[in-house]
Structure 1
Amino acid sequence: MNAHPFEEIKQKLKGSIAPVITPFTEDDSLDLETLRELINWHIDSGSHGISVTGTTGEPSSLTLAEREQVMETAFSAVAGRVPFVPGTGSTNHKETLQLTKAAQEMGADAAMVIVPYYNKPSQHALFKHFKAVAESVDIPLIVYNIPGRTGVNLEAKTLARLNEECPNIIGVKESNKDFEHVNRVLLNCGRDFLLFSGIELLCYPMLAIGGKGYISATANILPGKVAEVYNAWEAGNVEEATQLHYELMPLNDVLFRDTNPAPLKAALGMMGKIKPRLRLPMDVPSQSIQEEIRTVLNSYGLLNKIGSESQ
């Protein structure tokens, strides 16, 4: 049997691929120096891969030029130390093609392409969109299915058809609370299809059904501990992985008291990692939510490690 044309990168794409936030300055400009610092922190802390300009990176608040600038800065900062998988999807088909081609040209290991949001395409239209993107590049693609924010679910059979017809569609990030659906993804696409969780409380359970890892916003706060869940599971330390899963739950919960990444940026601001800026129409959480965040961070000892936290 012939090896899959992207077998080498498929073996590397696993574990905790951290979806790094996009930091802004006080005047809402890109803070690229802080982005570099965050990426170095993630890699030093044990994250298995880096992604930018996915949901957590606020891509809809960035211009196309800014998205490419963030991608290029991140690619340079990663410097081949771990796989780099930028988000290149948009609600606009031509923009998606442009960004995905840019990812290929800069040397990204793969690109993550979201189901177009707001449009609510049919399954037939989704198939045509993703097939056209796949045929426009030679790098592997991870489809990003997040029905809570796109308004439409990419069905397992549609994904299986894409997997069959497009050799470079090698996996999916499922930010889907329907656990039956994610089981059917592997049933229909095959067990070698890369399945990543984008739902924090399903990161660990998804490993048990054959998932390869997760792309979790919580990695922005505790990159080491989030990576350790996968490390423990891969080493066969089920009890340790289970313990870490439950240990992370209070943090997972508070980071979604408001729309991601607003609580996340508030938390990173409290930790001294960034200026907690979001561009309108996004904004920081209410004071009551911020107090919840502060209480939870304090329970993890994170407010005592400002500037040096390396979990």
Structure 2
Amino acid sequence: MMVMSIEEAKVKFKGSIAPIITPFKENDEIDYKALEQLIEWHIAEGSHGISVTGTTGEPSSLTVEERVKVMETAIKTVAGRVPVIPGTGSTNHAETLYLTKRAEELGADGAMVIVPYYNKPNQEALYKHFKAVADSTSLPIIIYNIPGRTATNLHVKTLAKLNNDCENIIGVKESNKDFEHVNRVLLHCGKDFLLFSGIELLCFPMLAIGGAGYISATANVYPGKVAEVYDAWAAGNVARAQELHYELMPLNDVLFKDTNPAPLKAALGMLNRVHPKLRLPMDLPAKGLQEEIAEVLKGYGLLSEKVEL
């Protein structure tokens, strides 16, 4: 497989990179047919890239073998039409190396590698971890910093050192509500460093400071509208992008009233896109929140009929 060059990745990794859920059947098995259908829907709706087995894909509920098969399914389904950047990180260093190498062998265009969760490594340990991952592959790497889920924040200075020392670490997904931190990423890493937002209400503001795009869970429910924010911005229609930012806010808000991806799967079940199933210890939101999600979907014209909850 020919690995996408760093230069090409810096051009093509942009816009709305949709972090696809992992659909399950009622018996807890992965529904690969539904995954293929979701990917086709995203491409038809204008998503600029596809990511699987990231936080929204419930990777901690998947076996290593399942993560590999989900990546393989996504890569084969996309068939080069948009970039595929699967999540390959975990709490286990050797497992992260293995999954990143498998992503490369399967033909992924890049890898998104999360700050290890639960372990709470110090900054020097994080540097060594990501340096080893970068050295193990030719794939372009997007680091994924999500302190709310990992309990560890990757400092800007650590990220800048990795960017300086590793040619293939080309960007970061910042699911970081500290917008001052986010601003300093491009100051210290350079304006050609790819900065993606993982916080829904910061997707539009991130573009304004020089971000490359966003990796927004909301794209699972309304991919075309989420992609349109970037398309409007890229076309120079700032007013339209701003309008869409506020238009999406009620949906963004309701989808994060419980732990992601539980509200997403409830919504996608209502829209008949997937069976609304999570693997324990995750589960669907309480009935009251599901009713609220249904009302919000109706407000966008996405749901017209009453659903049984």
Quickly name the TM-score band, shorter chain normalised.
Answer: over 0.9
Distance 2:297 2:194 in 1: 32
Partner amino acid for 2:100?
T
> What is the correspondence of 1:216-231 to structure 2 with a 5 Å cutoff?
216-231=216-231
Partner amino acid for 1:143?
I
Deviation at 1:277, TM superposition (A): 0.2
Partner amino acid for 1:202?
L
Partner amino acid for 1:193?
F
Deviation at 1:9, TM superposition (A): 1.4
Gaps of 5+ in 2: none
Distance 1:159 1:192 in 2: 14
Q: Deviations over 1:65-99 (max 9, x none)?
A: 00001000011111000000000000000000000
Aligned to 2:79: 79
Secondary structure, counterpart of 1:280 in structure 2: coil
Aligned to 2:214: 214
| TM-score, normalisation: structure 2 | 0.97
Aligned to 1:239: 239
Aligned to 2:162: 162
Q: Does 1:187 align with 2:197?
A: no
Q: Deviations over 1:191-216 (max 9, x none)?
A: 00000000000000000000000000
Aligned to 1:130: 130
User: In 2, are the aligned partners of 1:256 and 1:263 still within 8 Å (CA)?
Assistant: yes
Aligned to 1:174: 174
Between the two proteins, the alignment pairs up a number of residues equal to 303
Partner amino acid for 1:105?
E
Q: Deviations over 1:238-277 (max 9, x none)?
A: 1100000000000000000100000000000001100000
Q: Does 1:54 align with 2:50?
A: no
Partner amino acid for 2:217?
A
Secondary structure, counterpart of 1:302 in structure 2: coil
Partner amino acid for 1:287?
K
Secondary structure, counterpart of 1:303 in structure 2: coil
Structure 1 stretches of at least 4 aligned residues deviating more than 2 Å after TM superposition: none
Aligned to 1:15: 15
Deviation at 1:304, TM superposition (A): 2.8
Aligned to 1:309: none
% identical aligned pairs: 73
Distance 1:6 1:158 in 2: 21
Gaps of 5+ in 1: 307-311
> What is the correspondence of 1:64-103 to structure 2 with a 5 Å cutoff?
64-103=64-103
Distance 1:76 1:304 in 2: 34
Aligned to 2:297: 297
Distance 1:305 1:102 in 2: 43
Partner amino acid for 2:111?
A
Aligned to 2:111: 111
User: In 2, are the aligned partners of 1:271 and 1:305 still within 8 Å (CA)?
Assistant: no
Deviation at 1:303, TM superposition (A): 1.1
